[in-house]
Structure 1
């Protein structure tokens, strides 16, 4: 069944977002609603800005007798558009238009001064944008500075420092700055509080969305861990069955089969011991997965003392190993001891799989507050078994993770002779510092 292609974004809606703040700029994923309708009169609205510009320009030139009134009128219109992106700069433009009207206006009778009607609307829009998009103290400071400018206008008119009325004797009207200051202060504070409420509402929604995202991530992680645990249990059941069969067959071979040489009997006994050891390790790991108190993790873990048996098992598999274990500290941390064994075990297993029969040298030495593990093998033996061509690379990743958890370093790579080298360095002194730096 063919799926329908997603609808193409509407270019008309994308253009509208440049003219009205109905959605992010260039987005077509919006629908008309009450909120988008209010955006026509809000920050970033180009149509509303044009209306305010034309109204302000007409008032300043004809009613306020400012010949260059187009400049403060343009500042008023630009402030509305700019409030969508930079409300602080938009507030500066509104204040510049207000100051121009304060010092250059000449009126007959009562007219709003110094805050004109168009400037008042722009001021409301800008304070709303400050409350919505900036920290509260920015909007409060903007309101206080406007109040100070309005108070300056009242004082300037009362002291005749600025003459607004063209004929104050013929038109003894009250000072218009008082009403302008009162109305602008009240409406500006109200717009700022609405913007601040929108900001708090948006932050609340963002926090809820973040909490939901974190909760979903935790649920996904829990499901993943549960699935991994289930797979580990199933894998144990499958492998344990076959390993149990191998153990039983190898243990009873010398009694079931006649005419076995002593070497063959010893080989079957070795296979039986290795199978039992593998089963014991798998049961211990499964116990960690199934028990909440991790009782299995408190059982003794293999360390450097088990390397001799590991090397003997690899030699019986047809890969000669020269093992050298130096003097190690008696108080070697358990995690370091386990990492020494696991790194050597994985390195020797890689040799058996990818270079069977290769001469291999394994060294474990301590000195200068650290333990060094080095496993170097030569090229595979020509007459030996064919190497395993398949490899996931997870063995090297696992070694690197183990070493990094102990604050150590791991180097792996081919040698000039055609073999492979694994070299791990594990700190045993000042391990807390090493772990913090990792």
Structure 2
């Protein structure tokens, strides 16, 4: 039976703005309060989806969330009509309004952790929505995320969904941004690689000093248990605290893996040699041959990696067994990074080609190609059970492009978020989107 890795990219929402909400994310903070362009952001994301589809890769789309989140503002004490809630929040607590308007759900690498059926005890694909409790503006996402994923992967014979972990610091979970799966083939048993920034209970693990470590060991272990993963099919590794303090807020900012290959920075992990040996040993037991590609600090510094998002890339398998690396335009703009990539693809190794995409609107808010996609390994039976409305096709691309052109503004500032009309625009757009994607009622305004 054929199997695939399907990339479900997040569709950028209509309130895309530069609120500077993500402490520890250098790009998010450095571009705070700049004017954004939601329409351009959505079209850039769609262009990447279409390009990968045209290259022959399986591609899907994941819907954005309702913003502003008026219900979240009501829970914080703002009252009256929806318009009054927004106006009151703008007057009394603008940072809370900005947080309630964040389009951060576009980065669906944080939507959930996914384990394919070949790895799980019950032979189903398992999803656990990430609680994202490190940042308020993201912590409000998981209820809608769960409904959207449930509408996309609805067949209980093939798919199992778990609620987010308890929303406390000890179980901070940032989803697939700290999770990678290695395998010989997508439909075969593999090794799931969980990267954590700190332990909530074990003081033997060092913690960063400047920026928060968002993923805990305990959260990763809980997800593995929920998904019914075998001990021999799991490897845990700690992210280097010093790189977190340099702006590497998720593992996917410093490493990316696919198939049998891990592409990573020399300073990405603690106890790197031990980790690589464990990955190699466990992958060998399921028939795989682990390969690692280490980028030395002498060639690319951690600062280069953070500013270019070299590792926040998509590593994709091609039919001939080689791999393609999808990187943002910022990699070409960094002399050291671009020189390294030219040498990498010319060396005859497993990574043979680099393709560059303009994702500036997302990048300025701290998310690159890897942030924008959730990877789901599916066999052909499971793929056939996915809601067909969310699988990218040429007609769907055209429909979504026209939808964006109709509904999105081309400029967004903090003051625009205080406009009650924006809420009506967003709800109208999302109501139409659920019909295009055949999702049914997934948003609070559709349900309540």
| TM class, shorter-length | under 0.3
Q: RCO greater where, 1 or 2, for CA within 8 Å and sep 6 or more?
A: 2
Q: TM-score with structure 2 length normalisation? A: 0.19
Bigger Cα Rg: 1
**Structure 1 or 2: larger strand share?**
2
Q: TM-score with structure 1 length normalisation? A: 0.20
